[in-house]
Structure 1
Amino acid sequence: MVDEDLARRLLREQHPDLADLPLTWVGTGWDNAMWRLGAHLMLRFPVRKESALLVEHEQVWLPVLAPTLPVEVPVPVRNGVPGESYPWAWSVVPWFEATTAAATPPASHGAWAEQLADFFVALHVPAPADAPDNPVRGDDIAVRREPLRDRLAQLALTDSERIAARFDELAAAPRWTGTPVWVHGDPHPANLLEHDGALRAVIDFGDVTSGDPACDLATAWMTFDAPARARFRARIDAGCGWDDAMWRRAQAWALHLAVVMQMHPVEYPHLAAVGRHGIEQALAG
């Protein structure tokens, strides 16, 4: 648990010029505890060993990717290192005055569908050979078949059979054979920030990797309604020229990820709501 005392102690040890700024707890997600620092900064502390590697990926690669992207991303302004009181890397990142898209109605997200499409057109370019590995993103969606069924059995959703059948149909699309491209890995609505009807920033690049971009494009079903999704796809197709197989794999990813988001509805009700919307949209078309 990263409480205020620990956060301030780490600041005094490693970034003393920031140590006296006000600290306000923001929340704790699957991977990180977050504290707002002053008016313009935020601290991100991994809560488990596996998350620490994700923070390191952000520290290395966000400074490389940010200049190529048309939307702001949380490039670390300071890097924290392991110490006696805390065993993992951590970051000081910008604070964005914005609201997560998970907290606003999906019907309102169409205002920035083209902005998000432009972000992916810029991101989905060939990645270097030393891009981070990720065992659960950017690979063949067909290998998610059994994990999906296991989760459906645990959840006992009323539409489990429809989800499984539709997933199988979509995941049968031809596999990705192109050059591996950069992949965000987790661009669901909780990682998309909006302000004044526009996309303010795309955050949480911990899953950044290379491979098939279909897993990123799954956000078309988790974030948008059908009219906005059509505009999102048209904009991306104009920039990248993806084929129908890409979008079928993306829709299969949407079903898989939307089911994953149902696994902890009490702890993360906002993610469960995103998942329910994603399932509804992905089953509808």
Structure 2
Amino acid sequence: MNQWDADIHITDALVCELIESQFPDLAGLRIRQIGEGWDNAVYRVGDRYTFRFPRRSIAVEFLRTEGRLLPLLRDYITFPYPKPVFYGLESEAYPFPFLGYTYIPGTFPVGLTDEQRRLSAASLGSFLRKLHSFPVGIAREAGASEDHRNLTDVTSRKMKMVDILSSLKPHLPREEHDAIQKYLNHHVTVDRITPKEVMLHGDLHFKNMLADERGQISGVIDWGDLNVGHPGCDLNIAYSFLGPAERQLFFEQYGEVDEETRLLAKLIGVFIPMLLLAQAVQIKDAGVAEEARASIRRALSGD
């Protein structure tokens, strides 16, 4: 079984049945799929709402935690984000809970110029500074997990990246493959990062952000990996989404961080796009594959 395969197949007919049976006020609205990630299928319902349906059992508890935590974070999130409105229950037709949210307009920030990325550098830094200030005690009380992807274990992360790189070799230009290999061999030299605890989005990358017509970030979506962990895991976005010049603007707003945090941020800034590239290759999504490769190139540039 491929690691992105679903435990349950989400169909349009199933989604219509679930929404109409549990939320009859939404009956008759147009329902259409607008996305599918590793863990969830995403549907737009009418003009005002989106619904996320877990495809894998591993995502269920994350969805429940998201439903509890997002309302608590409303004063700590500075970008538009999907607010939970409809809490769907498991049933005979579908064994998992599901969530309906306010709709956030925008498109994935793919193929942007450096100038367009620069528009969002400061606001991304401010966004994470505020999010990371949320009290971790309250997060734990609401059920937030702690570093559930074990991202501070650099040794295991490096081993996983070496395996992924081997599988990606036929799909990368030689110079890009060799640049990643050189980085892993010569620049990732610690075994583990000293733990730190902040409230994390947990999975920041270009498929979990939205941009307006100018290319400026206008929303952050998919909060299913909310957890308490090291800030470097979120700060990866300063490396994968921003080039060195724009990165400086980001950290002027976020604040200075130590070298270990920068090391982890850069490592995750390479790791997540490698995962996105592997999935894009598997499902033959050329656009996502190219943006993932560009993200890796940016992450490897500069300090």
- Do both share a fold (TM > 0.5)? yes
Tell me the equivalent position of 1:127.
Answer: 136
Structure 1 contact 138–183 (Cα < 8 Å) conserved = no
Corresponding residue for residue 231 of structure 2: 213
Q: Deviation per CA, 1:8-40, whole angstroms, max 9, x where unpaired?
A: 211122111112211122122222112111111
The residue type equivalent to 2:225 in the other structure is D
Question: Using the alignment, how far apart are the partners of 1:177 and 1:137 within structure 2?
Answer: 12
**154, 162, 168: which is aligned to 1:155?**
168
Query: Which residue number corresponds to residue 234 of structure 1?
Result: 252
Deviation of the 1:163 alpha carbon: 1.6
Q: Note the C-alpha offset of 1:170.
A: 4.3
CA RMSD in angstroms comes to 2.2
- Indicate how the Cα distance of structure 1 residues 86 and 100 shifts in structure 2: closer, same or farther if over 3 A, else same: same
Q: Which moved more, 1:78-87 or 1:123-132?
A: 123-132
1:1-285 mapped onto 2 (5 Å cutoff)? 1-102=9-110, 104-105=112-113, 107-125=115-133, 126-128=135-137, 129=140, 130-136=143-149, 138-156=151-169, 157=172, 158=174, 159-172=176-189, 176-177=193-194, 179-197=196-214, 198-237=216-255, 241-266=256-281, 267=283, 268-285=285-302
Instruction: Give the letter for the 2:153 counterpart.
Output: D
| Unaligned residue ranges in structure 1 (runs of 5+) | none
Of the structure 1 ranges 19-28 and 123-132, higher mean CA displacement relative to structure 2 is found in 123-132
Q: Identity rate of aligned residues, in percent?
A: 27
Distance, in Å, in 2 between the alignment partners of 1:13 and 1:166 is 52
**Equivalent position SS for 1:149:** helix
Give the number of equivalent residue pairs. Answer: 282
Letter in 1 for 2:273: A
Counterpart AA for 1:34:
V
Judging changes above 3 Å, is the alpha-carbon distance between structure 1 residues 133 and 271 closer, same or farther for their aligned structure 2 residues? farther
When residues 123 and 142 of structure 1 are mapped into structure 2, their CA distance, relative to the original with a 3 A threshold, is: farther
Deviations 1:99-156 (A, max 9, x none): 1113644541211111111110011124123422453255333430111111111112
Instruction: Give the counterpart letter for 1:226 in structure 2.
Output: P
Q: State the Cα deviation string for residues 150-176 of structure 1 (Å, max 9, x = none).
A: 111111242434323323554436955
* TM-score, normalisation: structure 2: 0.85
Give the CA deviation at 1:278: 2.1
Paired with 2:114 and 2:91, the residues of 1 have a C-alpha distance of: 42
Contact 2:209 / 2:219 at 8 angstroms: preserved in 1? yes
What SS is found at the alignment partner of 2:254?
helix
For 1:68, what is the secondary structure of its paired residue?
A: coil
For 1:93 and 1:270, locate their aligned partners in 2 and report how far apart those are by CA, in whole Å: 27
Output the amino acid matched with 1:150: D
Report SS of the residue matched to 2:15.
helix
Q: Structure 2 CA distance, aligned partners of 1:179 and 1:250?
A: 13
Aligned equivalents of 1:236, 1:109: Cα separation in 2: 16
Q: Structure 2 vs 1, CA of residues 4 and 260 (structure 1 numbering), >3 Å: closer, same or farther? A: closer
